[in-house]
Amino acid sequence: MLSIGQYVRAQSLEEAYTLCQKKSSVVLGGILWLKMQNRTVGTAIDLCDLGLEGIEETEEEFRIGAMTSLRALETHPGLNAYTGGAMARCLGSIVGVQFRNLATIGGSLYGRFGFSDPLTLLMALGAKVELYHRGVLELEEFAALPFERDILVRVILPKTTKGAVYLSQRNTATDFPVLTFAAARRPEGLVCALGARPGKARLFRDEEGILAGGITPESAETFGRWLADQAALGHDLRAGEEYRRRICRVLARRGLLELAKEE
Amino acid sequence: MENKTFKTVGKPLRKKDAMGLLLGKPAYVDDVTPRDCLVVKVLRSPHAHALIEEIDTSVAMKVPGMVAVYTYRDVPQKRFTMAGQTAPEPSPYDRLILDQRVRFVGDAVAVLAGENEAAVNKALKLVKVRYQVLEPVLDIHTAKDNPILVHPEENWRSLCPVGADNHRNLCASEVSGDGDVEAVLASCDEVVERTYHTKACQQAMMETFRTYTEMDPYGRLHVVSSTQIVFHVRRILANALDIPRSRIHVEKPRIGGGFGAKQTVVAEVYPALVTWKTGRPAKMIYTRQECQIAGSPRHEMEVRVRLGAMRDGSIRALDVYTLSNTGAYGEHGPTTVGLSGHKSIPLYTGGLEAYRFGYDVVYTNVQAAGAYRGYGATQGIFAVESAVNELAARLGMDPVELRKKNMVREGQAMPAYYGEVAGACALDRCMDRCAEIFGWKEKFPVRELGGGKVRTAGVAMAMQGSGISGVDVGSATVKLSDDGFYNLTIGAADMGTGCDTILAQMVAECMDCGLEDVAVFGADTDASPYDSGSYASSTTYVTGKAVEKACGELKEKICALAADMLGCGPEQVEFAGRTVRRLDGKGQVSLAQIADRSMCGNETALQATCSHSSPISPPPFMVGMAEIELDRETGSVKLLDYAAVVDCGTPINPNLARVQTEGGLVQGIGMALSENVTYTPEGRILEDSFMQYKIPTRLDMGKLRVEFESSYEQTGPFGAKSIGEIVINTPAPALAHAIYRATGVWHRELPITPEKILLGMDGQE
Amino acid sequence: MEISLTLNGKTVKAQIAPDTLLLDFLRQQGCLSVKRGCETANCGLCTVFLDEHPVLSCGVLAARAAGHQVRTLEGLQSEAEEFVGFIADQGAEQCGFCNPGFVMNTIALLRENPDPTDDEIRAFLSGNLCRCSGYEGQLRGIRAYLDWKKKGGADRGE
């Protein structure tokens, strides 16, 4: 049951930021997660009038407003062209179209949820978040921060990666993932993100140069094993640690081989 | 097998309420009852087993808008059962509306009523309860004869000899058999002995439990509920409130699904209590969470099968023992367990020389189980069919051939099925046809696709019953009205299955009129003729026969009045659909004229009411075959194709019969692969929402193909048997079989998740 | 607080609590086709259009919908009538409780993609649960409707 004392449509980011400093206030992306938490909210701050919806594409980057729905990202031709369809793959298994029309990218990322598909992919792609107070920072950095009272304004996705893949393992087609995997070729080298560990997505780099000679079935297999050893995997209602370990090896190997095929 | 062509029966006609439902017209409890009424909610126990030492409702009552908070001190002390069954009920009388002892996480502690939802939600948090937390009984293996008793109370009662004993945590216990099963097993070449485990799956119907109650102008309790069992509700509420049954009137509007969940009086008692005590209208709408933790799910069962066969594949002995978990209360405990043996073993009547079936149903401190489609047969068939498939693998025999060698055939008496004869049985044709349309020869061999992926197939057959022999009563009233149309009044409950329509189809067939000429009304305890209710797959077979009988009687009455109008004797006229005419061709009258005549100076009511009960319960039969693609690297299973061929006797409406089958298949797929029930060490259920309890979406099933191979049941209306429950019985064993074929591992506990599949292969070649 | 929104083409002004969900608001306004089936945004029964996008009305505050356009099945009767008969012809409506959400989302699908493949239909409707029909009959009905439209959408044969 969601209980809200006051509903305010912020007319400026400054107003939203000021209001959200109070402990009992909550910034609304959507209310999908909020309403399941049995919370009493003093002030609900809605950002819907701040023009934060929309995807802008330039030569260098995508600028995605925080209030953009997951569905809009999922169906965006530019984002899918850039990611080779990984964006649609990443988001298309989340509950249903109606759900994705309501879930905002801001809401999805701010929670830094373990089960978050978009957090995994965007982290691998080197996305940045622009926070009203803190400014712009890498998603990897943002994910590591503790919860702070700030406003996520937009996601900036620089067009710097060449090739991306997204894979997830789910017990049923539209359930929370048991494990998420994304890989991308950044200018500095290949990176991959592993999420739903069940912990939130973490970035991994090929520190040991396993893929230095290129992605082959053997090197992809070895990298998968290495990744499974590195990652802090655990258990939850959906899967145990050992199963995640096995899936990690498989998703990493399959993901890398798919990445190699894209070239 | 009879080849009959009917005019309306057997036709794929639209349901009478189809367009209204599809266009979103108000039709369900919360649509057709007043909004201005008390909101009723229940405070639920956080403990699996506890005594309420102190409960203080004074602060909760101070919330503006709160009208009442009831505790165990405010309710009658006569125990009753919430199970919808013919009285005297086999289910124990172990319930009170509110009890001082709470017996599962979610058990009712207090009933709250207020003028709006916000007030009640606030008040819920303000009821102060001090519990004496007790050790719960959570393991079915140690429940029987456990020193901790779930029902130690003196006034616990068992009305029927089902082997219940509350001092032993036993809700039912029995052994039955035929022949010397140990001797036969000892002389068999192969004995498969395995134990299977199924969980307390939820019906998960889309409309949660909900009831509206008010006092009517006669000072009677008027109940509008989403229920399958209006007459049982009347009796159960009378028991619960300790008031005469004559003071209660129960009806049902359109229902958003039941599947047996609503064969138990889950929600009704609470608003009924509020209305009876306050005199004010009240409504309770269960949340999905309440449905998941305090509903009436399938009985968790552990079924041990010992199957004895010869090397040539003849199955000679079956010994089944079921340990069933009825949970905190015994609804449907003594009855569901029986089907786990009596509706699985008879499938192999063909070669069986001996069988034994024993069971114990135990009380534990978890959610009370109830009736869910299949009602025990589903669990037993998962076990027996899996054992048969394992036998086939051991013998190196095709599992289809193995079944054809041993399956029950038409005309055989079935010792394990109460001695009844399989009077109408097309199981053999179902098997052949299913193999044909499925492509069993091509799909059964294991096909490697590379990349760790493999395609395999599995098979299972099933039976169920049609009504409860000698117990279920179905009734129908048919009357000729103004203008020559018919009113059909029934007590059976259409829960979306379309029984209103198919029973009207039967009237149309009997009276030789159009479906649109029959208006259906049901079910209402004041207005409807008595019907046990819609469960046990009884509506088509039992109520349908009552419809047929009532139409026969009505035709006689119509002819009698028409003969009078035509100036001759009733034996000189014939009923001709829209008219009644003289056999000598000298005149006729129309139905409209007869109806008019009946409304002026007439003493022959053009109305007939008949009841029917059958001494037998002819089983429907079916075969299911599943093809999967299994990813050996992840354990993921993709359903590719499921073919099912059903013998339900004559399908009264082929569309509805097909959709019933498809719906049941998908429920079975959910039970087999994704619907799980996990308890914390303290006995709380973790899958308490659709977020955690995963029923199949349309992406979790492949192609479904359903066909019918009809036998003709002489005792059924137009040759019909039933179809309501059998349809859920094949997927679990068929899928477990296909998974074995792909991985070399037999999974004997449901659901078979990707994790179990992957890790299960450790140690396999 | 007071809100104003457009509901099925008509302006509606009403007093609501800040935490009133659009689902409950719509039912209070008489749109009884909108159903509740869960508390976790999983079932799809409460699907309505918000500015012509299909959304879960349980996942929207009525306050958020203020100033916007909401459409329920009550306001889409003629568009629904054209295709639901094909579902009825399959008997796939069954208990009907999932129907309004399913019909709404199918209308949304066909507006966005008038000629979908079976896979596209399933994927778009994946957020609409049904426990009665097994989904297959609903797909047959949609396919029959699309075939009928392709043939010019003339005489409905029974």
Backbone angles phi, psi at B552, to 5 degrees: -60, -45
Give me the number of domains chain C comprises: 2
Residue B699 to chain A, least CA–CA distance (Å): 6
Interface A-C: count of C-beta contacts within 8 A? 81
Tokens of A142: 């943002």
Let me know if residue C43 belongs to a domain.
Answer: yes
Q: Are B171 and B98 part of one and the same domain?
A: no
Please tell me the distance in Å from C66's CA to the nearest CA on chain B. 22
* Range(s) within chain A of domains with CATH label 3.30.465.10: 55-158
Say whether residue A7 is in contact with chain C using an 8 A CB cutoff. Answer: yes
Q: From B756, which residue of chain A is nearest by alpha-carbon distance?
A: A243
pLDDT recorded at residue B155: 97
- Residue C129 shares a structural domain with residue C80: yes
C4 touches chain A (CB under 8 A): no
- Mean confidence (pLDDT) of chain B: 97
Helix locations, B494-587, DSSP H? 499-511, 544-566
Domain CATH for C8: 3.10.20.30
**Chain C residues within 8 A of B287 when measuring between CB atoms:** 39
Query: Using the beta-carbon criterion (under 8 Å), do B753 and A246 form an inter-chain contact?
Result: no
Tokens of B627: 């093809």
Determine whether B246 is exposed, middle or buried from the number of CB atoms within 10 Å of its CB (0-12, 13-18, 19+).
exposed
- C52 to chain A: nearest residue by CA? A101
Where is the domain boundary, C74, C101, C119? C74
Q: What is the CATH number of domain A55-158?
A: 3.30.465.10
At B664, is the pLDDT very low, low, confident or very high (cuts 50, 70, 90)? very high
Whether residue C62 is found in the same domain as residue C99:
no
**Are C96 and C145 contained in the same domain?**
yes
**Is there a domain that residue C26 lies in?**
yes
Binned at pLDDT 50, 70 and 90, residue A39 comes out as confident
Cα of C42 to nearest chain B Cα, Å: 6
Provide the domain limits for residue C132. Answer: 76-150
Whether residue C48 sits in one domain with residue C85: no
CB-CB under 8 Å, A46 with C60? no
SS3 letters for chain C? CEEEEEECCEEEEEECCCCCEHHHHHHHCCCCCCCCCCCCCCCCCCEEEECCEEEEHHHCEHHHHCCCEEECHHHCHHHHHHHHHHHHCCCCCCCCCCHHHHHHHHHHHHHHCCCCCHHHHHHHCCCCCCCCCCCHHHHHHHHHHHHHHHCCCCCCCC
Which residues from B are below 8 Å from A242, CB to CB? 759
- Judge whether C155 lies within some domain: no
The CATH 3.30.390.50 portion of chain A extends over: 164-260
The residue of chain C nearest to residue B693, with distances taken between CA atoms, is C42
Look at domain A164-260 and name its CATH class: alpha beta
Judged by CB atoms closer than 8 Å, whether chains meet at C91 and B704 is answered as no
Q: What is the span of the domain harbouring residue B608?
A: 18-26+468-612
B223 and B269 share one domain: yes
Note whether B121 contacts A1, CB cutoff 8 Å: yes
CA B279, distance to chain mean position in Å, is 34
Q: How far apart are CA B27 and CA B14, in angstroms?
A: 18
Q: Residue B268: inside a domain, yes or no?
A: yes
Residues of A in contact with B753 (CB under 8 A): 171
Residue C157 lies in a domain: no
Average pLDDT over residues B471-485: 96
Q: Assess if residue C158 is contained within a domain.
A: no
**Residue B344, domain CATH:** 3.30.365.10
For B255, which residue in chain C has the nearest alpha carbon? C95
Neighbours of chain C (3+ CB pairs under 8 A): A, B
CB of A232 within 8 Å of any CB in chain C?
no
Task: Give chain A positions within 8 Å (CB) of B636.
Answer: 169
Cβ–Cβ contact C58 with A under 8 A: yes
Looking at chain A, which residue has its C-alpha nearest residue C48? A98
Would you say residue B229 has pLDDT above 50?
Answer: yes
B175 within a domain of the structure (yes/no)? yes
Q: C9 and C36 in one domain?
A: yes
The verdict on a CB contact (< 8 Å) between B697 and A172 is: yes
Displacement of CA B263 from its chain's centroid (Å):
7
Give the nearest partner residue to C44 out of A2, A3, A96, using CB atoms. A96
Cβ of C35 and B256 within 8 Å?
yes
Chains touching chain B through at least 3 C-beta pairs below 8 angstroms are A, C
Out of C17, C39, C56, the one facing A102 most closely (by C-beta) is C56
Interchain pair C54, A98: CB under 8 A: yes
For B514-559, the pLDDT digits (tens) are: 999 999 998 999 999 999 999 999 999 999 999 999 999 999 999 9
Q: In this structure, what CATH number is given to the domain that contains residue C138?
A: 1.10.150.120
Greater model confidence, B626 or A263: B626
Rounded to the nearest angstrom, the minimum Cα separation between A171 and chain B is: 7
> Considering its fold, how many domains does chain B have in total?
3
Q: Which of C31, C72, C93, C128 to mutate to test the interface with B (most CBs of B within 10 A)?
A: C93
Last residue of a domain, one of B294, B312, B327: B294
Closest approach of chain A CAs to the CA of C64, in angstroms? 8
Residues B500, B564: one domain? Answer: yes
Interchain contact C63–A (C-beta under 8 A)? yes
pLDDT in tens, chain C (158 residues): 999 999 999 999 999 999 999 999 999 999 999 999 999 999 999 999 999 999 999 999 999 999 999 999 999 999 999 999 999 999 999 999 999 999 999 999 999 999 999 999 999 999 999 999 999 999 999 999 999 999 988 765 54
Whole-number Å distance between alpha carbons of C133 and B753: 24
CB B306 within 8 A of CB B346: no
Q: Provide the CA C153 distance to its chain's centre, in angstroms.
A: 22
Q: For A33, name the nearest residue in chain C, comparing CA atoms only.
A: C40
Is the confidence at residue B353, as pLDDT, over 70?
A: yes
Asked if residue C135 belongs to a domain, the reply is yes
Q: How confident is the model at residue B4 (pLDDT cuts 50, 70, 90)?
A: confident
The residue in chain A having the minimum alpha-carbon distance to the alpha carbon of residue C2 is: A7
State the nearest Cα–Cα gap between C94 and chain A, in angstroms: 22
Whether the predicted pLDDT of B437 surpasses 50 = yes
Q: Which residue of B has its CA nearest to C120?
A: B699
Last residue of a domain, one of C45, C74, C103: C74
On chain B, the residues whose CB falls within 8 A of the CB of A243 are 635, 754-755, 758-759
In a domain, B285, yes or no: yes
Chain C residues within an 8 Å CB radius of B496: 94-97, 132
Q: Do residue C86 and residue C143 come from a single domain? A: yes
Write down the pLDDT at residue B426.
98
Chain A contacts of C60, Cβ < 8 Å?
Answer: 30-31, 102
List CB contacts (< 8 A) between A108 and chain C: none
DSSP assignment of B381-424, as one string? Answer: HHHHHHHHHHHHHHHT--HHHHHHHHS--TT-B-TTTTT-B--S
Residues C70 and C89 in one domain: no
- B708 within domain boundaries: no
Q: Which residues of C touch A33 (CB under 8 A)?
A: none
A36 part of contact set with chain C, CB < 8 Å: yes
| Minimal CA separation from B557 to chain C, in Å | 35
Q: Are residues C25 and C81 in the same domain?
A: no
Same domain, C19 and C62: yes
Which pLDDT belongs to residue B529? 97
**Contact assignment for C93 to B704 by CB distance below 8 Å:** no
Is the pLDDT at A262 greater than 90? The verdict is no
Q: Evaluate if residue B3 carries a pLDDT over 90.
A: no
Q: Which among B259, B277, B294 is the end of a domain? A: B294
B685 falls within a domain: no
CB contact under 8 A, C129 and B498: no
Among B294, B323, B347, identify where a domain stops. B294
Residue B30 has pLDDT above 90, yes or no: yes
CATH at residue B269: 3.90.1170.50
Per-residue pLDDT reduced to its tens digit, B145-156: 999 999 999 999
Residues 53-82 of A with CB under 8 A from C: 69, 71
Residue C69 and residue C84 in one domain? no
Whether residue C134 and residue B663 make contact (CB cut-off 8 A), yes or no, is yes
Chain B residue with CA closest to A242: the answer is B759
Phi then psi for residue B290, to 5 deg, are: -65, -40
Q: Does A4 touch chain B (CB under 8 A)?
A: no
- Residues B659, C39: C-beta atoms closer than 8 Å: no
Disruptive mutation site among C38, C56, C103 for chain A (greatest number of A CBs within 10 Å): C56
**For chain B, percent of residues with pLDDT exceeding 90:** 98
In a domain, B53, yes or no: yes
The CB density around residue B289, as the number of other CB atoms within 10 Å, is 18
Residue type, C87: I
How crowded is residue C3: how many other Cβ atoms within 10 Å of its Cβ?
20
Could you tell me where the DSSP H helices lie in B620-718? 654-673
Tell whether C90 and C69 lie within a shared domain.
no
Q: What pLDDT is stored for residue B441 in this prediction? A: 98
Q: b vs e for B40-59, b when ≥16 Cβ sit within 10 Å of the residue's Cβ?
A: bbbbbbbbbbbebeebebee
Which residues are within 8 A (CB) of B77 and not within 5 positions of it... i.e. 6 or more apart?
A: B96, B155
Residues B126 and B156 in one domain: no
Q: What pTM did the predictor assign?
A: 0.97
Summarised one tens digit per residue, pLDDT across range A129-146 is 999 999 999 999 999 999
What is the predicted pLDDT for the residue at B371? 98
Tokens 């589903």 sit on residue: B378
Tokens representing B435 are: 């193999």
Q: What is the mean pLDDT of residues B209-218?
A: 98
Contact B666 C134 (CB under 8 A): yes
> Inter-chain contact C124–A35, Cβ cutoff 8 Å?
no
Q: Which pLDDT band, with edges at 50, 70 and 90, does B1 fall under?
A: very low
Residue B38 sits in the same domain as residue B187: no
Same-domain status, B409 and B338: yes
Q: Is the ipTM of this complex over 0.95?
A: yes
* Residue C68 touches chain A, beta carbons under 8 Å: no
Stretch A188-198: mean pLDDT: 96
- Contacting residues for A190 by C-beta, under 8 A, at least 6 apart: A183, A184, A205, A206, A211, A256, A259
> ∠A111-A115-A117 over CA atoms, to 5°?
90
* CATH code for the part of the protein at A2-46: 3.30.43
